[in-house]
Amino acid sequence: MKKYSNIEWNMIKGLRNRIVHDYDGISLKSIWFVLENDLEQLKEDIQMIIDDDKKEKQKDESSEN
């Protein structure tokens, strides 16, 4: 998603993989740190993507009419 290059997609994917596959074990402190420090910004970024997608769909629908 080049359009949203400000979001650290590889880090998100990597964390997901560590959680799911328990690579080298994962500490709850690490997860808590992410929740406290990164989750709010990620939520805002995801909301921006959703809003952008809605705008694009509306634009496409209006151009079809």
- Residue-wise pLDDT tens digits, 25-46: 888 899 999 999 999 999 999 9
Report the mean per-residue pLDDT for the chain: 90
Reduce the DSSP state of residue 24 to 3 states and report it.
Answer: coil
pLDDT value of residue 59? 87
pLDDT at 18 over 80: yes
Length of the chain: 65
* pTM greater than 0.85: no
Q: What percent of the chain has pLDDT over 70?
A: 95
Q: Token digits for 25?
A: 């074990």
C-alpha to C-alpha distance for 56 and 35, rounded to whole angstroms: 30
